[in-house]
Structure 1
Amino acid sequence: MKMDKKFSYVPLFLQWVLNILLTLLALILSVFLVKETFTIYQIIFNLDGTPAIDLLESILNFFLYFEFIALIIKYFEAHFHFPLRYFIYIGITAIVRLIIVDHKDPMDTILYSGAILVMVVTLFIADLRKKSSN
């Protein structure tokens, strides 16, 4: 019994470390989000000679940063719990970005599309379970 009480502060300490590091990560991602916004501005107004096709990739990068920041916010709002839905949203966005950036092999594109379908079905099942539990 004394051993349990002796180390009872460890989870609390680790939770604090995690919270501090997630806050730092959110700040770093915010800087990248602002940088990506500036890149989108440059592409739209063609200030640096970047091809317009890169606009879509930059927009998807923007949303990936945005979703990770939203995930960290939800973590704190949900009292230190990561909602599964947000990981699935991030995964879908990441695979869409991958399809847009690397679409040379049709078989890979079909497999990526299948992965998106699996994630959408997972979201649907999770929503059904959530509605049935309420």
Structure 2
Amino acid sequence: MKMDSKFSYVPQFLQWVLNVLLTLLALVLSVFLVRETYTIYQLFFTSDGPPPIELLESILNFFLYFEFIALIIKYFEARFHFPLRYLIYIGITAIVRLIIVDHKNPMDTILYSGAILIMVVTLFIADPRKKSGG
């Protein structure tokens, strides 16, 4: 028993370190989010119009930053727990971005689409809000 009480501060200290680092990460991601917003603004108001692929890539990057910041917020709201569905949302957005940016190989695109389908099915299965039959 003495050993347990001797090191009881370790998880609390590590939790504190994690919270501080996640807060710093959220601040850095916020800076990147503002930078991406400025990039989207520049793409929209160029004289020859925005290149569609670059604009779409910037918008998806914006949503990735936004989702990571939302995930960190949910982590603190859920009392230091990452909800699974937010991680899946981020994965889906990242794969959609990958399909848009790198769509030269049709087989890769089909595999990426299959991965999105698996994640959507996982969301459906793991949804705690769905009603149980009965």
Distance 2:34 2:130 in 1: 35
Gaps of 5+ in 2: none
Aligned residues: 132
- TM-superposed deviation, 1:62: 0.1
- TM-superposed deviation, 1:53: 2.5
- TM-superposed deviation, 1:127: 1.5
**Which portions of structure 1, spanning 4 or more consecutive aligned residues, are displaced by more than 3 angstroms?**
47-50, 128-132
- Give the TM-score, by structure 2 length: 0.93
Find the counterpart in structure 1 of residue 110 from structure 2.
Answer: 110
Find the counterpart in structure 2 of residue 93 from structure 1.
Answer: 93
- TM-superposed deviation, 1:11: 0.2
Per the alignment, do residues 117 and 41 of structure 1 end up closer, same or farther by CA in structure 2, a change over 3 Å counting?
Answer: same
Contact persistence 2:53–2:101 (CA under 8 A): no
The amino acid across from 2:114 in the alignment is G
Partner of 1:41, secondary structure, is helix
| CA deviation profile, 1:58-103 (whole Å, cap 9, x unmatched) | 0000000000000000000000000000000000000000000000
Q: What is the aligned-residue RMSD (CA, Å)?
A: 1.7
Contact persistence 1:44–1:52 (CA under 8 A): no
Distance 1:76 1:40 in 2: 30
Identity of aligned pairs, percent? Answer: 86
Structure 1 residue 6 corresponds to structure 2 residue 6: yes
Find the counterpart in structure 1 of residue 35 from structure 2.
Answer: 35
